[in-house]
């Protein structure tokens, strides 16, 4: 894996699936899983961009916003990985992409999408 495309694709796919879920599925746990994922992706981006700054926790903005939170946090991480030392082609970045894709896929599985 030598670029950030797999992460961007996985995040976009999950966000689209979350947007399509009915309220009952969001309430049944999919929104909570999505928010937890968005928070983790956001923290990873912050650690890359501002390593010496205390992290800011993404707020719970409600069921119907969680898909957008996943999309924004995921794309923030994509951007941070692209700008990381060595760029998108570095081994460290490739490892970060692979880990983040795994997180997204695991969250999607727990959401049932």
pTM of the model: 0.92
Percent of the chain with pLDDT over 90: 86
Q: Over the chain, what HEC string results?
A: CCCCHHHHHHHHHHHHHHHHCCHHHHHHHHHHHHHHHHHHHHHHHHHHHCCCCCCCCCCCCCHHHHHHHHHHHHHHHHHHHHHCCCHHHCHHHHHHHHHHHHHHHHHHHHHCC
Q: 76-98: per-residue pLDDT in tens?
A: 999 999 988 765 556 778 889 99
């Amino acid at each position: 894996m030598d670029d950030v495309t797999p992460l961007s694709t996985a995040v976009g796919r999950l966000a689209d699936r979350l947007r399509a879920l009915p309220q009952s599925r969001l309430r049944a746990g999919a929104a909570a899983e999505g928010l937890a994922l968005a928070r983790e992706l956001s923290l990873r981006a912050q650690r890359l961009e501002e390593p010496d700054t205390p992290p800011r926790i993404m707020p719970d903005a409600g069921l119907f916003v969680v898909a957008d939170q996943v999309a924004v946090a995921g794309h923030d991480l994509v951007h941070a990985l692209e700008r990381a030392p060595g760029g998108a082609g570095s081994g460290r970045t490739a490892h970060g992409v692979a880990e983040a894709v795994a997180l997204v896929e695991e969250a999607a599985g727990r959401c049932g999408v």
